Amino acid sequence: MKHSGKAARAALRLVWWTLVLLLAILAAGVVARYFSAFISTIAGALVAMWVVFAALTFYFFRDPEPKPVALSDPKAVLAPAHGKVDMVDEVTEPELMGGPCRRISTFMSILDVHVQRAPVSGKVTRLEHKPGQFLSATKAHSTQVNEQVLVGLEPTDAPGAKVGLRLIAGVIARRVVPWIRVGELVNRGERISLIQFGSRVDLLLPLAAQVLVQPGTRVKAGETVVARMP
């Protein structure tokens, strides 16, 4: 499938560079071994820590395929992220939606899957990186001030309508990696980005959209139906 394996490759790059650093430290330890037994103890501890780090990194960057969802309703909107919905409200969003809209905000903990998927099929109309702060994603106002990537979509099955995404960085998740470009056509449930080590995703929908989840609902990207387009 499109973009399959990209999360694993991102994890591999991270593990590889930490391995290079570890080997450099161990090489220095070998040189210093004849001067202090303490260095050997430290080297052993570093190896154990790296093994744990590598295992956790591959777990954090996992990218499971969603369970097949039989969607006979072309207006169904899928969750863009794994995590827990903690805000469902009406907001004014001039940048992506041009005014008032529905917002479904999903908090992704460090233990959740970090790959995001397209909530609807459509054309990417906007992709913009916005520098910002790195506040905890548990804070509601982080959606406005944190570093983020804005994604605009024009749904195939709702011509003229707008769907927006805010892919938000956080204290730990300081990098958002989009895998799409403006003008590209994406399919509902297709991989579109990676937020390393969790954070928050805001899904923005027209006011007339029917929201099917509430705060506290656990959702899975590309699998859970969270709303229905008007």
Active-site residues, by number, are 199
DSSP conformation letters of 106-137: EEE-TTS--EEE-SS-EEEEEEEEE--B---T
Residues 190, 204: Cα–Cα separation, whole Å:
18
Residue 162, number of CB atoms within 10 A of its CB: 21
22 Cβ contact list (under 8 Å, min separation 6): 46, 47, 50
To which residue do tokens 């109309």 refer?
Answer: 125
Tokens of 218: 């656990």
59 Cβ contact list (under 8 Å, min separation 6): none
CA-closest candidate to residue 163, choices 82, 70, 61, 79: 79
Are 174 and 155 contacting, i.e. CB atoms less than 8 angstroms apart? no
CA triplet 88, 115, 162: central angle to 5 degrees? 50
CA dihedral sign, ordered 213, 114, 163, 192: negative
